[in-house]
Amino acid sequence: MSVTPKRALAEISLGSSVKISTLSDGNLSLPPEMVFGEMPQSKLTELMAKRSITLTKYEPECNVTLYRDGTNTVLFDVGAGPDFMPASGKLSESLSAMGLSPEEVTHVIFTHAHPDHIWGVLDDFDDPLFPNAMHHFGRKEWDYWWNPSTVDSIGADLASFAVGAKRRMEVIEDRVELFDDGQDILPGIAARASYGHTPGHMTFELRNGSEPAMIVGDALGNPHVAFERPDWHSGTDQDPVAAAAARISLLDQIAHDHMKIIGFHLPNGGIGRVERSESNYRFIGEPS
Ligand SMILES: [Zn+2]
């Protein structure tokens, strides 16, 4: 299935000066068992039946977040570029539909270095696509993918992820700044560790005015199981135990602080909120 990019998928304002838009990079197509195979299957079927979902195919959206505060034009992740999957890599078209050129992007901030989040950082000539942007990585995430032994330790299934990340990181190395957990990357944008999906996966707290928001990347990678059973292990998490702990901690904070949530693979642009019930959580999408 191919997705035709349009203008922003969803938009919200934070305070009087910050505008958040989510832009489509298209979608992935994954075998459902790759994500859900490790979960208790009869309970999973029950959970999905309640929501009238049949898991014969799994084609999650990819939503890149654009943050504009009047001075900075920031992208959170850059999508997959042309080489990963046929229906992904649409960010450039979505940016131009917004009337924005890659040259106008001042900062790129990465949640993690999986292909659907970083492979779009280069153009067709393998040069940086965002020539005027500083590129920001969590130090732990950068060190993991930069390490030449990662390709041997990550396992055969993900070896291409390691090669693909390193190749791109080498091109952008001289325009990279590293940040640590808790650090303010820009005014109003703070890093929050959420390790597990990848060894150094980061989420971002946006605190501008009275309405806080959290960009969760792949720490909350789907709108159903990740919220209703954050304790279940997902096949796409490199450290499933740490990823489950990160989900539970994030959901607790987002619900408690009444934060907006912005998710890379959540539906309809991925902006919404989290509702807590007595035993679990629910993703409530913003009406678009
Ligand atoms: Zn992803």
Give 215-231 pLDDT, tens digit per residue. Answer: 999 999 999 999 999 99
Q: What is the pLDDT of residue 287?
A: 74
Å from CA of 197 to ligand 1 middle: 9
Average pLDDT over residues 259-287: 93
Q: What is the pLDDT of residues 36-53, one digit of tens each?
A: 999 999 999 999 998 888
Å from CA of 45 to ligand 1 middle: 23
Å from CA of 121 to ligand 1 middle: 15
Å from CA of 16 to ligand 1 middle: 30
Predicted confidence (pLDDT) at residue 87 exceeds the cutoff of 90: yes
Å from CA of 196 to ligand 1 middle: 13
Å from CA of 79 to ligand 1 middle: 9
Å from CA of 15 to ligand 1 middle: 28
Average pLDDT, the chain: 94
Least confidently predicted of 44-53, 107-116, 125-134, 250-259: 44-53
Å from CA of 117 to ligand 1 middle: 6
Average pLDDT over residues 260-269: 96
pTM, rounded to two decimals: 0.95
Å from CA of 47 to ligand 1 middle: 23
Predicted confidence (pLDDT) at residue 164 exceeds the cutoff of 80: yes
Q: What is the DSSP string of the chain?
A: --PPP-S-SEEEEETTTEEEEEEEEEE--B-HHHHHTTS-HHHHHHHHHHTT--TT-B--EEEEEEEE-SS-EEEE-----TTS-TTB--HHHHHHHTT--GGG--EEE-S--SHHHHGGGB-TTSSBSSTT-EEEEEHHHHHHHHSTTHHHHS-GGGHHHHHHHHHHHHHHGGGEEEE-TT-EEETTEEEEE-TTSSTT-EEEEEEETTEEEEEEETTT-SSSHHHH-TTSPPTT-SSHHHHHHHHHHHHHHHHHTT-EEEETTSSTTSEEEEEE-SS-EEEEEPP-
Predicted confidence (pLDDT) at residue 11 exceeds the cutoff of 50: yes
Q: What is the pLDDT of residue 115?
A: 98
Q: What is the pLDDT of residue 15?
A: 87
Q: What is the pLDDT of residue 5?
A: 47
Average pLDDT over residues 169-196: 98
Predicted confidence (pLDDT) at residue 288 exceeds the cutoff of 70: no
Å from CA of 266 to ligand 1 middle: 10
Å from CA of 61 to ligand 1 middle: 9
Q: What is the pLDDT of residues 193-206, one digit of tens each?
A: 999 999 999 999 99
Å from CA of 67 to ligand 1 middle: 19
